[in-house]
Amino acid sequence: MAGLRERKKEQTRQRIAAVALRMFTERGFDEVTVNEIAEAAEVAKATLFAYFPTKESLALHGVGGDDLAGIVARRPADQTFLEALRAHHRAFAAGQIPEADLVALIARVRVIQDSPALQNAANGLLYQQRQALAQILANEYGPTAAALMAAQIAASLLTLQETYFQRLLAGASAKDAGRTLARDIELAFDLLEHGLIHAEGH
């Protein structure tokens, strides 16, 4: 029964997210109210907020970034934190996004780009992820070094995400965008691992 209950909860979450995305795409993020989304998704407003605590989280669903701190914290003992992050992003680039998910992703990115409020919310999420990563790294490297490392990693990953989305918005196929992303990931992590001086030799 627990499995069925979880499946139904996930279906409700996905339905709310899909309805919200459709409405945001048609009318713009700022023009749609939470009440309208709840009504169109046929759920109570309280139910909607149980799944998505803010209107912004509805729009950022699926593009809010990865749990960098969790990836680092759960890595095997014989793996460095950069190796764990590289492996995670390699796996993402190698995966094939289903066509329906790709269409939704592109629509979501467009909605975010068109709303300053959503861009600020996305930046806030990235800051939280960076802070969480710094806290994990601080146990091993101290607070100042950890903050600097987390900032470099977050900036690199944000650049990878932005260029990936730009290619998709420009009409690149998921396969081509993924192939280019895979090359960019190797470059980004080589630079993080070896530093900018290393790049001068290329």
Distances 85 to 8, 66, 88, 104, 166 between C-alpha atoms, Å: 32, 10, 5, 26, 22
Cα(120)–Cα(64) distance, integer angstroms: 12
Per residue in 66-87, pLDDT (tens digit) is 789 999 999 999 999 999 999 9
**pTM score, two decimals?**
0.82
Supply the pLDDT for residue 27. Answer: 94
Which residues touch 112 (CB under 8 Å, ≥6 apart)? 59, 60, 63, 118, 119, 122
Helix 81-94 and helix 143-169: axis angle, to 10°?
A: 10
What mean pLDDT value characterizes the chain? 90
Mean pLDDT of 48-56: 93
Asked if 125 and 64 touch (Cβ cutoff 8 Å), the reply is yes
* Domain boundary assignment for the chain: 2-55, 62-199
Where does 62-199 sit in CATH, by number?
Answer: 1.10.357.10
Architecture of domain 2-55: Orthogonal Bundle (1.10)
